[in-house]
Structure 1
Amino acid sequence: MLQRRHFLLRLLVLVSLVWSGSLLAAQDEATALVKRTTERMLNTLEARRAEIERNPAMIYALVESTVLPHFDFVRITQGAVGQYWRQATPAQQRQLIDGFKQVLIRTYARSLLSYSGQDIRYLPLKPGNRPTMVTVSTEVRESGSTPIPVEYRMHNAGAGWKVYDVVINNASLVGNYRSSFATEIRQSGIDGLIARLGDMNTKGQE
């Protein structure tokens, strides 16, 4: 009986080690994904900068094909709309997701256009509240300037790691929009916010 107990204990320890190793490997993949995607986007930007300068709208398609597959826009929009999300009909929720997605494409694309060779440093991964959540920490460094911290909050719901928030200089993208979205909804309702998102995309404003 004692021998059997020792065997079961060793088996439990072995399974725990295998699980921990698999979890760490999966979390490391989150950092690798951010690095791979960032480098691919910046390399493409540099290679095609002359084309993009002649036709700046090109960068929207590049962002959409390279970066956006790794963002969870449903969760991002839910977080930004906050408590009002459940008040929206399924059709309104879809319009909110589509509208906010286009806003973020334009915002990210404009920030890329200002890139001029700054160094990006990848810092140690931060574990989240759950094994399926991590924060990939980076710094954008430019000679003579204070490094700018950029964090990608990510989760894995079974379909690979996806970003659900970006924190720049301790300011959450989702949190910043949540405040302005709440004000818009209180004043004009869900449809008012949908219209506002459409207006932002039409005018190319943030």
Structure 2
Amino acid sequence: MLGAASAALAQGGRGRDLQAEQFVQTGAQRVISVLADRGQSVAQKKATFHQAINELADVPKVTNFVLGKYARTITPVQRQQFAAAFRAYAESVYQNRIDDYGGEKLNVVGSVVQKPGDVVVNTTIAGGQLDRPVAVAWRVLGGGASWKVVDIQFKGVWLAITQQQDFVSTIDNAGGDIGVLISQLQKDALRPAARRP
């Protein structure tokens, strides 16, 4: 399970995986570059960003993970609705903060193999509008030339794990009604950047 493995990341691991590092270097830099590209229309940028995320991340795996215990009870129709709402929300968070990006460069500084096919790639992002380099870790699953990101650590927090906790809490508070979370994500995806926290 993603959560258990991510929680154990600080306990060690050995070696580096250069193929996983190259995947993150290329894929993550592309995502950053798409966000910073002022030469495309909004529609073109959204389409390019959507494709870049598909290539970088295991979107179905992350979507299932953030549902936590509710991934086992969600109906097929709800799953389809949630997947669309979560995807739109996640992409809007970055696209609506487009002015925050501009010329940043990602540099891989190493990786740790937790077990075969499970690697944490450590990077720094610097330049552009950043005052100082930011450390970002990428958890990737796969092997050889086939890898996908399943979680990102930023400021010491694993984002998918945090989202899972928030989403499960929201559903719990709604008496197990997943529709409440779906509606909330749909609304949040439409909110302008100025109103985001």
TM category (shorter chain) comes to 0.7 to 0.9
Looking at CA atoms only, which structure, 1 or 2, has the larger radius of gyration?
1
Counterpart AA for 1:140: I
Instruction: Answer yes or no: is 1:199 the counterpart of 2:187.
Output: yes
SS across alignment from 2:110: coil
Counterpart AA for 1:49: R
Q: Verify the 8 A CA contact 1:118 1:140 in the aligned structure 2.
A: yes
Q: Normalising by the residue count of structure 2, what TM-score does the alignment of the two structures yield?
A: 0.75
Instruction: Answer yes or no: is 1:95 the counterpart of 2:85.
Output: no
The structure showing larger relative contact order (alpha-carbon pairs under 8 Å, at least 6 residues apart) is 2
Q: Which runs of 5+ in 1 are unaligned?
A: 1-23
How do 1:122-201 and structure 2 match up within 5 A?
122-128=108-114, 130-142=115-127, 145-156=131-142, 160-188=146-174, 189-201=177-189
- Percent identical: 23
Cα 1:104–1:152 change in 2 (3 A) is same
Report Cα offsets for 1:14-54 as digits up to 9, x if no partner: xxxxxxxxxx89x32222122222344455556x51444xx
| CA positional deviation for 1:181 | 0.8
Give the whole-Å Cα distance in 2 for the aligned partners of 1:202 and 1:63.
17
Counterpart AA for 1:120: L
Aligned match of 2:4: none
Cα 1:167–1:32 change in 2 (3 A) is same
Q: Verify the 8 A CA contact 1:106 1:204 in the aligned structure 2.
A: no
Which protein has the bigger helix share?
Answer: 1
Q: Which runs of 5+ in 2 are unaligned?
A: 1-14
Report Cα offsets for 1:73-125 as digits up to 9, x if no partner: 22212221112211211222222222212222222334554222233221111
Cα 1:113–1:135 change in 2 (3 A) is farther
Q: Verify the 8 A CA contact 1:76 1:164 in the aligned structure 2.
A: yes
| CA positional deviation for 1:167 | 1.0
Aligned match of 2:18: 28
Q: Verify the 8 A CA contact 1:154 1:164 in the aligned structure 2.
A: yes
Which protein has the bigger strand share?
Answer: 2
Give the whole-Å Cα distance in 2 for the aligned partners of 1:122 and 1:147.
12
Counterpart AA for 1:173: L
Deviates most, 102-111 or 67-76? 102-111
| Aligned CA-pair RMSD | 2.8
